[in-house]
Structures are given as structure tokens and as C-alpha cells.
Amino acid sequence: MAYLRLKTLHLIPVFFLVTFASFMMLDLLPGDTVDAILSDADTGEIGSVEAREALRKELNLDKPLIVRYALWLGNMVQGDLGRSYVTTQPVTEALVQRIPVSLELMIMSQILAIAMAIPIGIYSGYHGGSTVDRGISAFAFGVLSVPVFVAGTVYIWVFAIELGWLPSSGHTDFSKDPWGNIKGFILPALTLATIEFPILMRVLRVDVISTLQEDYIALAKSKGMTTWYILFHHALRPSSFTFVTLLGLQIGQLITGTVVIETLFSIPGVGKLLIDSVDTRDEIMVQGVITFIAIVYVVVNLLVDLLYAVLDPRVARRA
Amino acid sequence: MDSKTSASPLLEVVDLYTHFDTPRGVAHAVDGVSFRLERGRTLGIVGESGSGKSVLSRTIIDILAKDGSVLNQGEVRFEGRDLMALPEKDMREIRGREIAMVFQDPMSSLNPVKKIGKQITEVLVKRLGMPGAEAKRRAVELIESVGIPDAAQQLDRFPMHLSGGMRQRVAIAIALAGEPKLLIADEPTTALDVTIQAQILDLLRRQQVERNMAVILITHDLGIVAQYTDDVVVMYAGQIVESCSTEELIRRPRMPYTEALMNSAPNLADPPHTRLDAIPGMPPNLLRVPQGCRFADRCPYAAEKCSTEMPALAHDEDSSHIYACWYPLEVKEAVSA
Ligand SMILES: Nc1ncnc2c1ncn2[C@@H]1O[C@H](COP(=O)(O)OP(=O)(O)OP(=O)(O)O)[C@@H](O)[C@H]1O
Ligand code: SF4
Ligand SMILES: [Mg+2]
């Protein structure tokens, strides 16, 4: 597990870099946070000089960037990400409310993407070079070039507007209406899965093709195992390293996609929180969400590495 | 006494062709091969690298790709049934149960991500219909019978935990699990050290005698042929060029290629892995096989006829020793090993 420790060490600077960079960028944005908080949209008043100074002090905005980052970091490690400038809700509380929503969306989309990619990838690999395989590849390339919001819009149009099977937006609490909750997630999850599965399928296909050349597949055949059994019990696992790596690498893309999808389908997840907070210039909230996303990214990367060891005992030994 | 001397042999291969349709042309990997093998006997197949030994064995057990790139013709009669005409479903019943296989490189022929126990028990469970617990017990017996210590502990180990020799023993245990009537061992010891080689071959022979199993032993090494086989087939460029009892072949080779193989046979004094590369020249390109004798380019006895007409397999009177050569070697006295 020395390898894993090294990897963790590697990811720590990544985390600091991301949080500091976002801190700096938010600071560089035009406009004044104090204005954003104190100004009244109706009257145009921007508050008294004393009130502005007091707020500036309270928010530590009078201190240099690096000091503010250090202060924020100090609070962060104690689990305090500050309070929203706009709603005064603690950032952590807002995150806790929204994490389950985003998580459900991501998990559903990943399950759908994997459920589409594995059978199609294996089929395509097994029939490598055939007309069907080439057809599938062409289709996958087509899908790959579709932007996520276009895919989402098409699904909304077909399944929500034309067929009326599923809601086009909104979110229902699972505890109140479980089926309604799942129904609301189907289209957004399907949209995310659609843009993700073609690459997954393609890498699996390539690895299945090379695995099927292996002697141990010939041995499995010579034992009289069925094709189905050989593909799923002998070929799938050794063919899934790139697949799993890609699942991990795509987490970044998945997060971006989630932000877009939550906005498109009005789903109150972490992504929508981020976009809404940017709209209202709620800097501390934006910073908190970005930090959270960075942590998720780092943890998922480590989990993917652990998964290698489960998939291939040889990795476990090397590690 | 049984008057039916021509009762069907265990395996009879009749005029078998396996060609590969490649982008660069058709490769004549197996080109009209015929031989027979009786129950309980050992047939050696010997020939240089690329002569089609592996393709032949994979054709017999029918595990080559089924994507249209493999062109087959001929008969593989197993206990009188033509395997080439069997539907895949029935052929699957043959594999593992009637005919099993051991491959050349035990480093790559065992699934690296599957426990050894599972790789044995899946034959027992899937093919023999044994319940799981019984299959485990049987797997332990099998592992014991191929001479691996601490059999019970081995079930949960992965191939990477074992040495090459031990892995090949596992591969043999897997092959024996279905109690096949025929075992095809495709260069089972080429990848192993000489000391281990003898152990593995002795193990195979012991199992063969115990189970009255027929064995096809594929090898580069005429020394192994001499020691472990009853009959022998010499292959060159996809064809059989000589075939007879092992004793006869060693004593009286008739085909110049066989002689060349004998002269290049590794000495026991040679370090392990010394390859049979001592015959000058290269075997013909299987995409463009010559119309005459395929060995003509390299044959010290070649005459004009050799490169224009292909010699057919023929035998002398009163002999089952067959060979394909226009100018067979004179019968001479034993070649010392
Ligand atoms: N799938 C395939 N497509 C095209 N050609 C092939 C294929 N498989 C084997 N061949 C060719 O068939 C010929 C015979 O190969 P084969 O593996 O049977 O030789 P071999 O006698 O087993 O050699 P070795 O002693 O090295 O194992 C080789 O020239 C090889 O390149
Ligand atoms: S037929 Fe001619 S070339 Fe071929 S082996 Fe005999 S002598 Fe040599
Ligand atoms: Mg071979």
C-alpha cells in the first residue's frame, strides 16, 4: 500500500492548488462583495460608510489575500466553510442538504452508463470488425459529439413533451414520493449516461478484443465453457482496467455535466447551488462548493486505485 | 480375437485443411493432414516453429476464431463421429470432457485474475455437474495427483503465486478434471527449465497410463519424442512429411527434413531453451507455398523434380512408415542419440 500513500501525498498539493486558485479567481472578479451584500436592488442604496467598513472587517476583506486564504483554510480543516453572504445559511449545511440529490443523480447516471457500456462493449469486442461492430462504433462517435445540453433537450422533448412519460424538471423528496423521486432523475441521469457511455464502451471493446487473444481464453474454450460464460467470467475482469481508470478520469467530466444537468432540469443539487451562488455573488458559498468538489475528486481517485487491487491481485502485490 | 482390425480409432484426422484468410493473402497453416491415434497411445507431433502444430491442435478441438477468417476442410473423426460436422453446442460437450488441452506457456494459459481452485472446479461444476462442495474436494485430489504440495491451500491462490512448473501442473490438473479420453499437450514443457521438463513429462505419462488416456504430444524436441511417444508425425510447412512408429523414425528416418531435425536436435549438454534453429534457411512463406516439395529450398538432396512436383506421402512395401520425398534417404544404421 506504499503506492497508495504516495498517491495520497501527490493529491494533497492538487487540493491546495485548486482551493487557492479558486480563492484567487473569485477575488479577481470585478465588483465588491460588500456591495453585493449591502446594496438594495430596489432603492439602489449601498449602505453607510461605517456599516460597509464594519462588514469588510467582519468578513476579513480588509486583509491580504494570502491571510484570508490561511484563515479560511484554518476554519476549513475544522469543518467550518463559513456562512452564505446572501442567506446566512452555513455553507456546510447547504452542502449537506444538496449532496444526496447530486449523489443520487451521479450514481444513477453511472449505473446507466455502465449498464449500457458493458454489454455493448463486450458484444462489439466479441464481434470485432463485423458490420454490427462498425455500426456501433459509428453510432458511438456520433453520440460522442453531442453536447450534454443538446442531449438533455432532445430527451426532454421526446420523453417529457411528446410522450409525456417523465417530468421535464423539478425534484421530489424521496421520503415523500419515492417513485416520483426516481422518475424525476431518469431523464437527467440518462442524459449524463448518454454522453459518457460511448468512451467507456470503446475502451472496453478494445480491451476485450486483446483479452480474447490470450491463451487463458483458449484454455477456457478448450474446457468447453460457453461463449457467454467466457466473456463475462474470464474476459471481462482482465479487460476492465482501462474501463475503471476511465470511470475515475471521467469524474471531472461527470461533475461538470452534473452542474449543467442540474441547471437544465432544475434539480436542487450541489451543481445548481454553485451556479445560483455565482449568480448572487455569494463568494464564500462558491468557495465552499469548489472545495467540496475538489475533495470528492481526490477521494474518488483514491478509490479507483483501490479498485485496481480488487480487480487484479497482481496490482495488490505490486502496490 | 477381434477380427475387426479396422475398428474405428479414437481419433482419425482425414485430409484436414486450416487456412487463414489474412489481409495479405491466405495462409496455408494446415494443408491436408491425415493421421490416426489409437486409445491410450501417445502420438508425437514434431516440427519447427511455424509448421502448423498449434493450429492443427486448435483445429482438432475447434477453438479457432469463428469470424470467417478461418477456412476449414476435412474430417476430424473422434470415436467415429466427425467433429468438424458437429454443431457448436455438441462440440462444447466434447471439449474438456472427451478432449482436453494443455498449452505451451503456463505463464499465460491460466487466467491471472481467477483463483486456481475456481479454474479447476468450474470444469467439475459446469461440465460434470458436480455440486460445489464435492467439486472442491475433487479439486484438492486433482491438485494432489499432479504433485503439488499443500493441495487444500492452493485452491485460494492465484497463478502468480506459483512457479512455472507448478502452474503447468495446475494446467494439467485442469485438463484432467474432465477425465478426457484424449489430451493434447501443445509443447507443455518448452517454456520450462530442463529439470522441470522431465518432471512434467513423467507426470503426463503417469496420468496417461493410470487413466488409459491417449495423448498428442507436440514438441520441437526429437529427444522428447524418442522418450515419450509411441508414434510420431513430422510436420513441415503445414504438411505431414513423415510418419511412423517412434522407434522406426529414430532408427530409419527417410525424409531429409527429419534427418535435418535430428542433426540439429539439442544436445543434452546444451543449456535450456536452446532452440531448434540449426537447419539452415527458412521455412517457406505460408502465404505463397511452393508448388514442389516445400523443403526443396533447404534440402541438401534436392534435384530438379523437387521444385516442380510435390512428392505425395507414400510408403515402402511391407511397411506403414510413410514419407513424402522423391529421393528418400537410404536405410542406414541407427543414428546415435
Ligand atoms: N490467426 C491466425 N491468422 C493468420 N495466420 C496464423 C494464425 N494463427 C497462426 N497463423 C500462422 O500459421 C502458421 C502455423 O502456426 P502454428 O502456431 O501452428 O505453428 P507451430 O508449429 O505451433 O509453431 P511453434 O512451434 O512456434 O508453436 C504460422 O505461420 C502462423 O503465423
Ligand atoms: S523431395 Fe526433394 S527436396 Fe523434398 S525432401 Fe525429398 S529430396 Fe529434399
Ligand atoms: Mg505452437
Mean pLDDT over the full length of chain B: 90
Which residues face B231 on adjacent strands? Answer: B43, B245
Q: Quote the CA–CA distance of B207 and A302 in Å, as a whole number.
A: 49
Each residue's pLDDT tens digit, B240-262 = 999 999 999 999 999 999 999 98
Expressed in angstroms and rounded, the spacing between residue B55 Cα and the centre of ligand 3 is 7
- Cβ–Cβ < 8 Å for A102, A271: yes
Average pLDDT of span A278-299: 86
Mean pLDDT of the region A109-138: 93
**Beta strands B42-46 and B231-236, pairing class:** parallel
In the predicted model, what is the mean pLDDT of residues B152-156?
93
Number of helices and strands in chain A (H, E):
15, 0
Atom of ligand 1 nearest to the CA of B64: 1
Q: Which residues of A51-81 are buried (b: 16+ CB within 10 A; e: fewer)?
A: ebeebeeebeeeeeeeebbeebeeebeeeeb
Query: DSSP letter string over A46-92?
Result: ---HHHHHHHHHHTTTTS-HHHHHHHHHHHHHTT---B-TTT--BHH
> Where do runs of H (alpha helix) occur along B185-313?
194-211, 222-228, 246-251, 256-264, 304-308
Q: Is B68 helix (H, G, I), strand (E, B) or coil?
A: coil
| pLDDT score of A319 | 46
Largest CA distance in chain B: 67
Identify the CA nearest to B193 among candidates B203, B185, B201, B183. B201
Closest CA to B57 of A208, A235, A215, A230: A215
Contact predicate B323/B241, CB 8 Å: yes
Bridging pattern class, strands B11-22 and B70-78: antiparallel
A128 pLDDT tier (thresholds 50, 70, 90): confident
Round to whole Å and give the CA distance between B126 and A229.
Answer: 10
Q: What residue segments make up the domains of chain A, in order of their start?
A: 100-318
Q: Tell me the pLDDT band of B3, cut-offs 50, 70 and 90.
A: very low
Helix (H, G, I), strand (E, B) or coil at B232: strand
Tell me what the mean pLDDT of segment A107-126 comes to.
Answer: 94
Helix, strand, or coil (residue A28): helix
Assess contact for B148 and B170: CB atoms under 8 A: yes
Q: Hey, is the C-beta of A183 within 8 angstroms of any chain B C-beta?
A: no
* More confident call, B150 vs B277: B150
Residue of A nearest to B99 (CA): A222
B46: closest CA among B215, B219, B240? B219
**CB of residue B49 inside a 6 A radius of ligand 1:** yes
Averaged pLDDT, A101-125: 94
Of the candidates A224, A238, A314, the beta carbon closest to that of B95 is on: A224
Q: Which of A122, A256, A89, A222 is nearest to B183 (CA)?
A: A222
CB-based contact, A311 to chain B, within 8 Å: yes
Percent of chain B with pLDDT over 70: 92
Nearest residue on chain A to B171, alpha-carbon basis: A219
Which chain A residue shows the shortest CA-CA distance from B93? A224
Question: What Cα–Cα distance (Å) separates residue B312 from each residue in B45, B316, B322?
Answer: 19, 13, 10
The pLDDT of residue B335 is 46
Model pLDDT for residues A159-201, shown as the tens digit of each residue: 888 888 888 877 878 788 888 888 888 899 999 999 889 999 9
- Identify the pLDDT of residue B271: 54
How many A from CA of B285 to the centre of ligand 3?
Answer: 17
User: Is A143 in contact with A194 (CB distance < 8 Å)?
Assistant: yes
Q: Is A221 in Cβ contact with B63 (below 8 Å)?
A: yes
Q: What is the grid cell recorded at A187?
A: 431523464
Q: From residue A223, how far is each of A19, B61, B96, B119, B189 by CA, in Å?
A: 55, 10, 4, 10, 20
What are the pLDDT digits (tens) for A54-91? 877 877 777 888 888 888 888 888 888 888 877 888 99
Return the SS3 of A94. Answer: helix
Asked if residue A223 lies in contact with residue B123, where contact means CB atoms within 8 angstroms, the answer is: yes
Q: What is the pLDDT of residue B1?
A: 44
Q: What is the mean pLDDT of residues A127-136?
A: 90
Beta-sheet strand order (sheet of B231-236)? B99-102, B182-186, B214-219, B42-46, B231-236, B239-245, B322-323, B314-315
Contacts of B174 in chain A (CB under 8 A): 219, 223
Burial of residue B183, with CB atoms counted within 10 A of its CB: 0-12 exposed, 13-18 middle, 19 or more buried: buried
CA distance A231 to A208: 8
CATH superfamily of A100-318: MetI-like (1.10.3720.10)
Domains of chain B, CATH where assigned: 11-98+180-323 (3.40.50.300)
> Could you tell me which of B266, B241, B265 has the C-alpha nearest to residue B254?
B241
Cell triple for B264: 540439429
Look at A311 and B131; give whichever has higher pLDDT: B131
Cβ contact, residue pair B100, A223, below 8 Å:
yes
Cell of B21: 484468410
For chain B, the helix, strand and coil percentages under 3-state DSSP, each to the nearest 5: 35, 20, 45
What is the average per-residue pLDDT within A150-160?
89
Report the C-alpha gap between A20 and A69 in whole angstroms: 7
Ligand 1 pocket check for B53: Cβ under 6 Å: yes
Longest dimension (CA), chain A: 86
- Count the Cβ atoms, other than its own, within 10 Å of residue A11: 15
pLDDT at position A162: 86
- Identify the pLDDT of residue B278: 67
Q: How many CB atoms lie within 10 A of CB A292?
A: 20
Mean pLDDT score, A295-299: 83
B283 lines ligand 1 (CB under 6 A): no
Residue B112 touches chain A, beta carbons under 8 Å? yes
Whether ligand 1 lies within 6 angstroms of the CB of B204 is answered as no
* Protein residue with its CA nearest to atom 3 in ligand 2: B296
Give the separation between CA B48 and CA B210, rounded to whole angstroms: 31
Q: What ipTM does the predicted assembly reach?
A: 0.89
pLDDT, tens digit, 9 for 90 and up, residues A13-44: 888 888 888 888 887 776 677 777 776 666 66
Give residue-wise pLDDT tens across range B299-329: 999 999 999 999 999 987 778 899 999 999 8
